[in-house]
């Protein structure tokens, strides 16, 4: 990661943080016309901006999916999109006497020690067996339905089951909870809790906050 002052006197992690805003500022035609920015500097500015962006992308590969999967965020949309047509609230179109829109249905016991979903036990979860099966008579969604789950989506289901298959009510029914403010190594920098969230993420990515910018650039960013 480039952390030294770049050609334009901006800090790379600062460019990363304000990303495209800065890029658009450097390529702004007005500033080129007025000679404030020379065209040859633009490609450098883009380079300075893109190196950390690209690097951030790589290191974010894992961060894109948070460690603990959330039912409402990761799983429910897949169920309703790929499964509810046949296992949803509509009784008439329900297949295999299986409901996946209710907790009772989704955790129902089946024959032979299997369950539709058995929390923390993918091997005894028929749902996992069906979505990982390659047998056209068994796999879910059925190939004929023209619905499918991507590899990544199958992985999400598996991980969610292994993580305990926590079933949540729709988020709008869940009471608002206090969010835990993350702890940070650099105790001096944050002035408030929002700063602590920002800093915690920067520290996770191995970045340091830039020095506070002078007033004019800050005004421009606004």
Residues lying near ligand HEC in the complex (CB under 6 A) are found at 82-83, 85-87, 95-96, 98, 110, 116, 126-127, 130-131, 138, 140-142, 145, 147, 149
Nearer to ligand HEC, 14 or 126 (CB): 126
Q: Which is nearer to ligand HEC, 123 or 222 (CB)?
A: 123
- Give the pair of three-digit tokens for residue 17: 């943080």
Closest separation in Å from C-beta 128 to ligand HEC: 9
CB of 62 to ligand HEC, least distance (A): 25
- Report the residue number, 52 or 141, with the smaller CB distance to ligand HEC: 141
By beta-carbon proximity to ligand HEC, the closer residue of 5 and 95 is 95
Q: Cα dihedral sign for 33, 36, 41, 42?
A: negative
**39-60 vs 12-26: helix axis angle to the nearest 10?**
130
DSSP 8-state secondary structure symbol assigned to residue 69: -
Work out how close the CB of 113 gets to ligand HEC at its nearest, in angstroms, rounded to a whole number. Answer: 13
1 with 60: CB under 8 angstroms?
no
Rounded to a whole number of angstroms, the minimum distance from the CB of residue 131 to ligand HEC is: 5
Give the helix ranges, DSSP H, for 99-189. Answer: 103-106, 126-132, 151-162
Rounded Cα–Cα distance for residues 36 and 93 (Å): 66
């Amino acid at each position: 990661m480039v952390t030294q002052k770049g050609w334009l006197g901006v800090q790379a992690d600062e460019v990363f943080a304000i990303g495209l805003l800065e890029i658009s500022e450097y390529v702004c035609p007005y500033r080129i016309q007025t000679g404030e920015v020379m065209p040859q500097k633009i490609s450098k500015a883009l380079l300075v901006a893109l190196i950390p962006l690209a690097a951030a992308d790589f290191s974010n590969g894992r961060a894109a999916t948070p460690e603990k999967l959330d039912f409402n965020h990761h799983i429910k949309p897949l169920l309703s999109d790929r499964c509810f047509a046949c296992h949803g609230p509509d009784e008439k179109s329900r297949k295999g006497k299986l409901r996946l829109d209710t907790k009772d249905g989704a955790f129902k016991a089946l024959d032979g020690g299997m369950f539709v979903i058995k929390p923390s036990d993918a091997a005894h979860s028929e749902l996992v067996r069906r979505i990982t099966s390659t047998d056209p008579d068994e796999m879910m969604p059925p190939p004929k339905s023209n619905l499918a789950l991507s590899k990544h989506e199958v992985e999400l289901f598996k991980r969610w089951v292994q993580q305990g298959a926590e079933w949540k009510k729709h988020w709008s029914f869940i009471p608002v909870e206090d969010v835990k403010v993350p702890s940070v190594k650099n105790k001096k920098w944050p002035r408030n809790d929002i700063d602590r969230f920002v800093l915690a993420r920067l520290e996770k990515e191995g970045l340091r906050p830039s020095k506070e910018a002078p007033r004019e650039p800050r005004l421009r960013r606004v």
